[in-house]
Structure 1
Amino acid sequence: MYSSETEGISQDNISAELHAVNLINMPPFSRLNPRIWFAQVDVQFQRRKIRSQTSKYSFVLGLLPTEFSSEVSDLIDNVPAFNAYDHLKQAIVQRTSLSDEKRLQQLLHECELGDKSPSQLLRYMRHLAVPYKVDNVFLKEIWLQRFPTVVRQILCASSQFLDLESLAGMADKM
């Protein structure tokens, strides 16, 4: 079992950190981008001066929905003696992130405009495309396919004069 003595942090400091942790208001965990979620959590830890691996571990574990905590049950049943939070964070990111295959499938077939603005859709598609180093020409083609024919024709006519971000901005105004 992990203990505060292992970290060299006093029980008073742990209590103060646990109180500070209770003041943090975080968005719910999302499988869409666990790395970004952890970046938000880490900023909150820094702002509240929470440095204890135990406090961080406990906080994150308390936020995880059951379907995600089962992904790291090995680290729950056998809490690492050192750097418990770092181990938990790494495992959650690795085990709950979309696989490259699923990202590609979403990029090519499942990305829909829906309630998103065209620029939001483009950013999401860029996020999905990261592992593949997709160039802007290919990304523009699959992005344009998400629009109705009339909108696509207008955007295609303008695309020779505008970069992809400007094109997305133009589409946002339509």
Structure 2
Amino acid sequence: MDSPPVTTFVSLSNSPENNFSSVNPISEFKLPTYGANNPRAWFAEIEALFMARGIRSQASKYAYVDGALPIETAAKVGDLIDHVPESEPYDKIKVAVIQRTSVSDEKRLQQLLTSCDLEDKRPSQLLRHMKQLAGSYKLDEALLKQM
């Protein structure tokens, strides 16, 4: 199985024209490809990578996320890219990406009720998928198994 494509960032300079002078210089750091189907999971994954690399700066995290977002997603948070927030830029872009790109609870429930078929999934995989689509809706597991 081929490994997924990754975004690679090369060392950022601390030149005077660089607005992110507090960005940690890193020789090479790879972020996983943006997960449009589940932005929350993507952010959880990159936050684990940030923690493992000791990256705590909001500016550093923001710079990596900004560079890793696909054009379509970046366009949805263009206001935060064009005008970088002075305080908590990473937290703000994270919230905006999740809010503006996540499928609404109603849409997930609609998908759950209309488009869940076994396809080539094992029953346990289908159940896990159905629970993910259910999102914040608390559906009885027995009901999901009957579906």
> Normalising by structure 2, what TM-score?
0.79
Return 5+ residue gaps in structure 1 as ranges.
Answer: 5-10, 143-174
Query: 8 Å contact 1:28–1:63 — kept in the other structure?
Result: yes
Aligned to 1:41: 46
CA offset digits 1:103-153 (Å, max 9, x no partner): 0111111123333332122111111113211112221122xxxxxxxxxxx
- SS in structure 2 at match of 1:121: helix
Which of 1 and 2 has greater Rg? 1
Correspondence for 2:141 among 131, 136, 141: 136
Correspondence for 1:52 among 54, 57, 64: 57
Taking the aligned partners of 1:67 and 1:131, their CA distance within structure 2 comes to 26
Aligned to 1:67: 72
Matched, 1:105 2:96: no
> Normalising by structure 1, what TM-score?
0.68
Taking the aligned partners of 2:142 and 2:128, their CA distance within structure 1 comes to 15
Query: 8 Å contact 2:118–2:126 — kept in the other structure?
Result: yes
Taking the aligned partners of 2:74 and 2:116, their CA distance within structure 1 comes to 27
- SS in structure 2 at match of 1:95: helix
- For these two proteins, the number of residue pairs brought into alignment is 130
Aligned to 1:146: none
Percent identical: 49
Query: What root-mean-square deviation, in Å, do the aligned CA atoms of Structure 1 and Structure 2 show?
Result: 1.9
Taking the aligned partners of 1:69 and 1:50, their CA distance within structure 2 comes to 22
Which structure has more helix as a fraction of its residues?
1
Taking the aligned partners of 1:59 and 1:115, their CA distance within structure 2 comes to 36
- More contact order relative to length (CA 8 Å, sep ≥ 6): 1
